Structure 1
Amino acid sequence: MAAIAAAAIDPVWPPFDAQPALVSKPAPAASAAQAPAAAKKEPTRPRGEAKLHGSRTLAQWGKLVSLIAVGAVAGAAVLVLAARGVTTLPGVPQFLAKYPGEYHLPATAGPGVPWWAQWTHFLNIFLMVLIIRSGYQVRTQQKPPAFWTPKRGGKKVSINLWLHQSLDIFWLLNGLIFVVLLFVSGHWMRIVPTSWEVFPNALSALLQYMTLEWPVENGWVNYNSLQQLMYFIVVFIAAPLAALTGVRMSELWPKNAKTLNRVYPVEAARAIHFPTMLFFVLFILIHVFLVLSTGALRNLNHMFGGTDVVNWTGFWLFAAAIAVTAGAWFAARPLVLAPIAKLFGQVSSR
């Protein structure tokens, strides 16, 4: 295992200042053909020049991030002022009064967050973080640190792609369990709209968020309509899109099905899969921000403590969940992944 990881991560290169050995006779023809390639050396960085991280130095990245942050704050300020101006237009106050941001759920929709929703929520956080990380590695990797080949034969893939697709399977299984229990328990009415009033109420909630006079949060009993629509999109639209496009790009897809491949080309799957991942990233950032800014202790108790009280129980459970996820993030390296991957196939350095 250690040998594989060392060969994959730390290839041994000759030192830049090594001098060619003097020889008394010409090298063989085969060696002469290889000489130009062997003689090439990686360019050294001039003394005092900053190291590049990607296409920029750390200072350049810092300036770029600062500019983006300043632009985001300025843009947000403009949106807030514009939204406050909209609320003064004729008819808008009456619209907000008629549609406060949520509608009444059916009487059979019970309050609370069941234990299975808490566990699947945690597993979704854990798996999504690692899926996004491994997916980004697959998309940007130049030379994979290791490779994996199935035991029963098949195409050799990078160990990052193996991790990504393995996590996808567990994520789909977790989502399937959640959806089944959602409908069996009747909890589906919390995230599936049951009235056309969801749309004007969602617009009202969005306008209230934009003015920073946010709608009243009571997720223990009922989500506001904008939340309900977003949760519906995540569970029933974005997640299936990610799954269907991921399967199309995986080795599970039949390569010789000409008609099927013509109807559903892999280029279409690639064009949808990556933007879907970006949607998940944006949703997670906004979701976490709103959870923490609209009553953090109470909201965290809903999803991690299973109660509607204000104490620190949910916070510490949330902190533990983040610690476990962060530990898995840093542990997902070839040195740790190789022994696990070996249980299901062959791991090699090339």
Structure 2
Amino acid sequence: MTTTPTTSARAAEWWKAQRTRVLWGTAIAVVALVVTVVIARVLVAQPAVEEFIATYPGIVPPPEGTPVGIPWWLGWQHFLNAFFLVLLVKTGLELRGKRRPPGFWTRDNTRWPRTKRAPRRLGIWLWFHLWLDALWVLVGITYVVLLFATGQWLRIVPTDWAVVPNAISAALQYASLEWPTEDSWIVYNALQQLAYFAVVFIASPLALLTGLRLSSIWPVEGRWASAQTERMARALHYPVMLFFLAFTFVHVVLVLSTGALRKLNQMYAARDADDWIGFAIFALSVVAMVVAWFAATPPRLKRIAAKSGRVQG
């Protein structure tokens, strides 16, 4: 009888196979970072670049009527988006490993007597991935609705082409380790604005559409079921995940290095203060994500999946 490897055993196997690649990638990233900082510091010392930064300091004044402050629901969105992203990465890596799933879920047609289509068998990781996608999409729809209902969209949707040179200026300042002066409670700097816009309105829809195309719930016939659309989706889906990871890493680093207590209060407690309340909420959210990562084991997932269908394996 064969046994299913534990999460820690699979992690050890993955690390052993990828160790050299990870170490080389880390070394290249560190060298690239150092070179970038050196080049940026040389550039910002040039008179022409100094004049450019003085003209475009990195912030575009917000349009009239832009709300000040970050509402409470945005704090919950921070946690929920991070929570689902962590689990989507976990299941995505499992699916990308192309190992035999530890179990298979099939819809129980006796519960859906009007369904004419034959039930499809899904690997347990794909089943969980699709459920996470559905919940993440629900969170995203809620976010977009509230974004436009409360006027918060004015904070992340560019309305002036001046955002481009100001974003370049902010990038130069970040790269030179001379942080641009900004107050996120009032307005994001131009680079933040473009990054948030890309995450919400470009990367997220791409992740959703390409993920659906690669899943087994996509129709097997029709105009959009061609091999070409599958190749395109496959070429985009993994890089989009890497973009989310890179954005999250940079986002966390900048939050922790540019006034962590105030930023965490703004993000998680909807407060513009320097106390530890936001940090405490953030710490609890990290604990919740770590617990969810290790709790999402095949035996537990199969027990949950069995409540909505038949599980084999």
Per the normalisation by structure 1, the TM-score is 0.81
Q: Which residue of 2 aligns with 1:149?
A: 106
In 1, are the aligned partners of 2:266 and 2:272 still within 8 Å (CA)?
yes
Task: Quote the offset at 1:252 in angstroms.
Answer: 2.6
Q: Which residue of 2 aligns with 1:109?
A: 66
Change (3 A) 1:330 1:55: closer
Higher helix fraction (1 or 2): 2
Task: Quote the offset at 1:66 in angstroms.
Answer: 5.2
Over the matched positions of the two proteins, sequence identity in percent amounts to 45
Letter in 1 for 2:145: V
Give the aligned CA root-mean-square deviation in angstroms: 2.2
Pair 1:237-2:232 in alignment: no
Change (3 A) 1:347 1:296: same
Between 1:149-158 and 1:97-106, the stretch displaced more is 149-158
Q: Deviations over 1:275-322 (max 9, x none)?
A: 111111111111111111111111100011110000100001000001
Partner Cα separation in structure 2 for residue 343 and residue 230 of structure 1? 40
3-state SS of paired residue (1:346): strand
Q: Deviations over 1:139-191 (max 9, x none)?
A: 10422111111123522121001000110000001000000110011110110
Report matched runs for 1:305-324 at 5 Å: 305-324=269-288
Report matched runs for 1:1-350 at 5 Å: 9=4, 53-54=13-14, 56=16, 61=19, 67-152=24-109, 153-257=118-222, 259-262=223-226, 265-349=229-313
Structure 1: unaligned runs, 5 residues or longer:
1-5, 11-51
Structure 2: unaligned runs, 5 residues or longer:
6-11, 110-117
3-state SS of paired residue (1:208): helix
In 1, are the aligned partners of 2:59 and 2:182 still within 8 Å (CA)?
no
In 2, are the aligned partners of 1:8 and 1:146 still within 8 Å (CA)?
no
Q: Deviations over 1:79-130 (max 9, x none)?
A: 1111111123342111100110011001201111111111122111111100
Partner Cα separation in structure 2 for residue 127 and residue 267 of structure 1? 25
Partner Cα separation in structure 2 for residue 328 and residue 132 of structure 1? 12
In 2, are the aligned partners of 1:130 and 1:329 still within 8 Å (CA)?
yes
Between 1:332-341 and 1:223-232, the stretch displaced more is 332-341
Letter in 1 for 2:202: I
3-state SS of paired residue (2:105): strand
Per the normalisation by structure 2, the TM-score is 0.90
Q: Which residue of 2 aligns with 1:48?
A: none
Task: Quote the offset at 1:73 in angstroms.
Answer: 2.9
3-state SS of paired residue (2:305): helix
Q: Which residue of 2 aligns with 1:19?
A: none
Partner Cα separation in structure 1 for residue 119 and residue 24 of structure 2? 47
Change (3 A) 1:120 1:56: closer
Letter in 1 for 2:75: Q
Partner Cα separation in structure 1 for residue 93 and residue 169 of structure 2? 36
In 1, are the aligned partners of 2:212 and 2:218 still within 8 Å (CA)?
yes
Change (3 A) 1:8 1:337: farther
Matched positions, count: 300
Larger Rg computed on CA atoms: 1
In 2, are the aligned partners of 1:248 and 1:266 still within 8 Å (CA)?
yes
